[in-house]
Amino acid sequence: MSLFFAQDAVAQLKDIGIPFRYAVDFETEEMHLSLQKEQANDLKLPDNSPPLIGITSQVDIDPAKNGTWILFPEQGLKVWRMLVNAENSSDLSFYFEQFEPGKSGKFFVISADRRKILGAYTQISRVEGHAFSIEPIESNRIILHFETDIEASDYNFQISEIGMLFAEKSVSGYGTSGSCQVNVNCTEGFEWQRQKRGVARILVKQGSGLFYCTGSLINNARNDETPYFLTANHCGELSSTADYAQWIFAFNYETALCENPLAEPVAQTLTGANLISKAANGTSVGSDFKLLRLLQEVPKTYNPFFNGWSRQNNVTATGTGIHHPDGDVKKISTYTSRPVSSGYGFGGSNPDEKYWRVNWSQTENGFGVTEGGSSGSPLFDSNGRIVGMLTGGISSCSNTSGSDYYGKVSYAWESNGTESGLQLKPWLDPDNTGIQVLGGLGSDTLFVMADFEAKRQEISINQKVDFENLSSGKIETYSWFFEGGNPDNSSEMKPPAIFYEQFGTFDVRLIVSNSSTADTLLKEKYISVKPFLFPNPAENVFELSFGIDLTPETEIEIYDALGKAVSFEAFIDGSRLRVVLHHPTRGAYIVRVLDKFVDKNLKLIIAR
């Protein structure tokens, strides 16, 4: 360690986040490291491990023993610097055994060419009683810079490891994902602007191995912003408690527009987590999941969103995956065919299995798939709720038809094992309310989000539908509108059962609001009301009651069990249609009812 005095004729203002005299070179101690890919061969990685993107090297950097101190008496400052040079690496990250910058201390990481600066890391950055880490900076020649009051002695930090990412820029990081991928702020992501705010890239540390994964903040039934974070267990399957404390979570790492900018976007990061629960190791043992609790509350300035979830063992026909393929900026993939319940890596369908098999669809701006780094990312249903966590698959830009597999939230809920450390239920529903679905939660104190679900969406005329209010936030008023229903509106938090008296498909709309904001959810053609067929069984004559006068646009077709069209006559009587079959035989028939908006099949039994 060396010491210098520096003189300055003019007092210089120091802005928050700008290191003092960062553009000025001082003679300082330099540490040389070299990354050899052969070092990776010494790591014992599980077969299902995400792609290795780098390794850490053991060091012992202590300002009391290493580096150079420079004193600036006129400014009342002292500055410590050390230069790190790592051959064959593209990016460097730093892992602290201790990080106590003191009351006035500021720590920075600066690329030697001064083009990139990370910091300032101060008292508000540290995690009480835990280690600390700093995200990768794109350079293999780095200046470590610490400044504090010249009389200060309340600081103490030791860097125990330096992470070195492989120099091949095609391996991971900004701009490395496949050309078919779709940035989250393209048109495909316009309806997912809330959900994306919960999704973060993870720099996983497992021993001396480094990996990229993805995960999401997740809401719990208390709606209390507990910083739970959901990902996949195979992301850091062998990570220790000390490793988890140095995981780095990068929020809002995304492009501002649909196109990639020339400069890499800035992420907002947090350090460290505790393991709460996880699946047993191995993709075939259970549904792959890992629930963490971040060591720090997510700052309001990050505008976080705690995503909702569904533990129902079914998935909507459309939805998305939001992820960081190859550790790149946030992307969105879209599915337009219903995911299938199956075993991991298997075809076919089995509702009792542990995974959702997903195939992606081409969209306006590309063909979103998944890659290494996407592991652990959330699968969203069309209601914006998490239904799965990515385990793996074979989709890629060169194999867009390949399937991907997501561990089911429904299975991870309590089917992985009886202990709380193997389940989601004790943590996401701590009061055992029994809820099946939960909406997301924004961190804004004035946040509101409309959300609801019908207990059933398909009924016959003269039946009732119960609606479950799943809205969240600081809600003061509710306004429900039920097209075709009786009553057709409600201002209650939980509306009464709605009676549907006529055939058709009908919208449901909910507006929630407070004195500052409002949110609307419209579900178009959400309730489908079938005509009532009677008698059933019949001989050769039956009626269809529609609850509304029929129009020429309403048609019916009748088919036998072999799919052969059956001859009949039909007579309109107001809201009823009387049907006479010509010489039917005993058995099952399908009565198809069609009009401008509806195409429904009804089952008829002929018992003559």
Distances (CA, A) of 56 to 59, 127, 210, 241: 9, 21, 7, 17
- 425 three-class SS: helix
For residue 422, the 8-state DSSP code is: G
Distances (CA, A) of 237 to 221, 272, 413: 27, 16, 19
Beta strands in 153-262 (DSSP E): 156-166, 199-206, 209-217, 228-231, 248-251
Give the distance from CA 147 to its chain's centroid.
38
The region that residue 575 occupies, defined by phi over 0 for left and psi between -120 and 50 for alpha, beta otherwise, is alpha
Distances (CA, A) of 95 to 119, 139, 246: 15, 16, 7
Give the distance from CA 289 to its chain's centroid.
13
Long-range CB contacts (within 8 A, 24+) of 537-542 = 537/605, 537/606, 537/607, 538/604, 538/605, 538/606, 538/607, 539/606, 539/607, 539/608, 540/580, 540/581, 540/582, 540/583, 540/584, 540/606, 540/608, 541/578, 541/579, 541/580, 541/581, 542/579, 542/604
Catalytic residues: 234, 288, 375
**CB distance 492 to 479 below 8 Å:** no
- Token readout for 22 is 């960062």
Whole-angstrom Cα distance, residue 266 to residue 252? 8
Largest CA distance in the chain: 109
> What is the chain's percent helix, strand, coil content, to nearest 5?
5, 45, 50
Residue 403 sits at φ, ψ, to 5 deg, of: -90, 150
Q: Which residue has the tokens 């990229």?
A: 212
